[in-house]
């Protein structure tokens, strides 16, 4: 009998039920899209943020205290101690190794330069001073499992613009900064000679011209092994830039791990905070100091927080609109069924029975409206994902469950006052037509 009453009500009033299901479905569609994108936005934005460059820098711990202002380190890059290049594969053994997407060691040396393109002389008797920066461009790092990790400056600094090609890491080649190229008249294919002591000149063939909007524009960028030879520091580097996928830091992330107990340290270490990744790298690189590049990390966290806040606000607005629509529909339905409700109560139905019957009818709409909203929301999420990130978010059963729960909550919240009013109807005045 209970199911028959619900079925008859749907059959006699399909238009109002369709409108209610449509309002609920639209609200759930927005909620589904927002939740799907929100679950995916962290990873997607983290990958997009890597175009901002490295967010960690590793230097020798034996160096003097750093001079850092506004997140920028003004300490000379070639001052102090050095770190062994042989330890770099250890970075891919830390707990968050899969979050480390690139790293590039740097060794800078001040050298004399002489380019046949800039003067017509037969010997490098007169030369200019310029910074020679040794880096990995596109380098294969052998790992313990026998695989290779492709990394280098091309990945840690993806915004650098190259006119030409990167050099080979095992060749006597280079790329020249755009300002150096303008000053010397060099272009791809030309030769530049470099030396530290005025003897032992090394001839490098330029393979491209680099624009970085940084100090590299005035420098000659060479393979790391060439800079090591010039500096007489074989197998060593001065600074390491690391690009890692992280989550925004909160107050817990900024705590000093030395003040944490065992459980807190484990929870902190098992979260991909930039500080916890820095801590794990320091453990595998003896004698190193790993610091966060705050201007990058803070910018990432701020943008991600604002995007997620916007998505939650949109979701809340959609749910509120759905609750109001469902409430208006439920109120109209209760007014239309006053006589039916009065008759039910006159025949012995209690207030709880009447309320439960009306609530069951509304909850049946949850399955219809929630299902329709989830399907529409997936299409909307796919559209947003393709437009913003180029990749649609994957469907999630978790989102379906959350959407159905939200739909039930919105329906009951919107229908609460009309259902309470219906349950408290006095049948006598209604049956008398008052």
DSSP sequence for 275-300? HHHHHHHHHHSTTEEEEE-HHHHHHH
- Whether the per-residue pLDDT at 29 is higher than 80: the answer is yes
Residues 86 and 201 in one domain: yes
Tens digits of per-residue pLDDT, 244-266? 888 777 778 778 888 888 888 88
Query: Which of 185, 208, 238 is the endpoint of a domain?
Result: 238
Residues 24 and 104 in one domain: no
- Backbone φ, ψ for residue 308 (5° rounding): -65, -40
Residues 222 and 348 in one domain: no
Residues 194 and 311 in one domain: no
Higher pLDDT, 13 or 34: 34
pLDDT at residue 431, rounded to an integer: 61
User: Which pTM does this prediction carry?
Assistant: 0.64
- Whether the per-residue pLDDT at 371 is higher than 80: the answer is yes
C-alpha of 372 from chain center: 30
Residues 123 and 210 in one domain: yes
Residue 139, strand partner residues: 151
- Whether the per-residue pLDDT at 64 is higher than 60: the answer is no
How confident is residue 2, by pLDDT bands cut at 50, 70 and 90?
Answer: low
Q: Which residue's structure tokens are 């052998």?
A: 142
**What 3-state class would DSSP assign to 256?**
coil
Tens digits of per-residue pLDDT, 90-104? 999 998 888 898 999
Residues 199 and 115 in one domain: yes
Give Cα separations from 376 to 199, 221, 365, 400 (angstroms). 72, 52, 16, 12
Residue 252 lies in a domain: no
Residue 272 lies in a domain: no
C-alpha of 433 from chain center: 64
Query: Which of 238, 256, 273 is the endpoint of a domain?
Result: 238
Question: Which residues span the domain enclosing 205?
Answer: 71-238
Higher pLDDT, 427 or 201: 201
> Do β-strands 68-69 and 56-60 pair in parallel, antiparallel, or remain unpaired?
unpaired
Residues 39 and 116 in one domain: no
- Backbone φ, ψ for residue 78 (5° rounding): -105, 20
Cα 402 from Cα 356, distance rounded (Å): 23
Residues 38 and 102 in one domain: no
Residues 43 and 96 in one domain: no
* Mean pLDDT, rounded, of the chain: 79
Which contiguous run of DSSP H or E holds residue 191?
strand 191-195
User: How many domains are contained in the chain?
Assistant: 2
Task: Report residue 420 as tokens.
Answer: 């309470």
pLDDT at residue 257, rounded to an integer: 82
How confident is residue 429, by pLDDT bands cut at 50, 70 and 90?
Answer: low
Residue 297 lies in a domain: no
């Amino acid at each position: 009998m209970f199911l028959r009453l619900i079925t008859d009500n749907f059959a006699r009033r399909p238009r109002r039920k369709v409108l209610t299901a449509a309002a609920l479905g639209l609200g759930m569609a927005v909620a589904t899209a927002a939740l799907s994108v929100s679950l995916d936005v962290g990873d997607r934005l983290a990958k997009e943020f890597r175009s901002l460059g490295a967010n960690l820098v590793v230097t020798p711990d034996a160096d003097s205290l750093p001079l850092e202002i506004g997140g920028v380190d003004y300490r000379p890059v070639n001052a102090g101690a050095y770190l062994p290049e042989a330890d770099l594969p250890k970075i891919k053994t830390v707990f968050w190794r899969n979050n480390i997407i690139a790293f590039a060691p740097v060794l800078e040396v001040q050298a004399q330069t002489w380019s046949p393109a800039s003067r017509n002389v037969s010997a490098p008797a007169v030369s200019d001073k310029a910074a020679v920066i040794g880096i990995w461009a596109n380098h294969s790092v052998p790992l313990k499992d026998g695989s290779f990790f492709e990394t280098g400056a091309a990945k840690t600094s993806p915004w650098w613009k190259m006119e030409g090609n990167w050099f080979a890491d095992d060749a006597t080649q280079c790329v020249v900064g755009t300002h150096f190229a303008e000053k010397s008249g060099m272009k791809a294919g030309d030769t530049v000679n470099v030396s530290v002591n005025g003897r032992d000149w090394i001839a490098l063939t330029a393979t491209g011209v680099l624009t970085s909007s940084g100090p590299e524009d005035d420098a000659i960028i060479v393979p790391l092994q060439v800079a090591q030879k010039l500096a007489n520091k074989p197998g060593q580097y001065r600074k390491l830039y690391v690009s890692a996928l992280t989550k925004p830091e909160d107050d817990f992330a900024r705590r000093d791990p030395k003040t944490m107990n065992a459980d807190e340290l484990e929870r902190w270490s098992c979260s991909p905070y930039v500080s916890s990744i820095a801590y794990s790298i320091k453990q595998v690189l003896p004698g190193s100091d790993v610091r966060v590049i705050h201007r990058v990390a803070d910018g990432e966290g701020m943008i991600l927080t604002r995007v997620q806040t916007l998505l939650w606000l949109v979701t809340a607005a959609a749910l509120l609109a759905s609750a109001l629509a469902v409430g208006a529909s439920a109120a109209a339905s209760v007014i239309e069924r006053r006589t039916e409700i009065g008759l039910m109560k006159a025949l012995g139905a209690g207030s709880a029975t009447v309320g439960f019957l009306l609530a069951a009818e509304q909850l049946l709409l949850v399955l219809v409206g929630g299902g329709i909203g989830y399907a529409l929301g997936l299409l909307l999420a796919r559209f947003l994902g393709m437009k913003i990130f180029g990749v649609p978010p994957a469907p999630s059963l978790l989102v379906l469950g959350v959407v159905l729960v939200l739909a039930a909550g919105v329906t009951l919240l919107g229908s609460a006052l009309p259902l309470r009013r219906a349950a408290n109807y006095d049948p006598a005045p209604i049956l008398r037509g008052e």
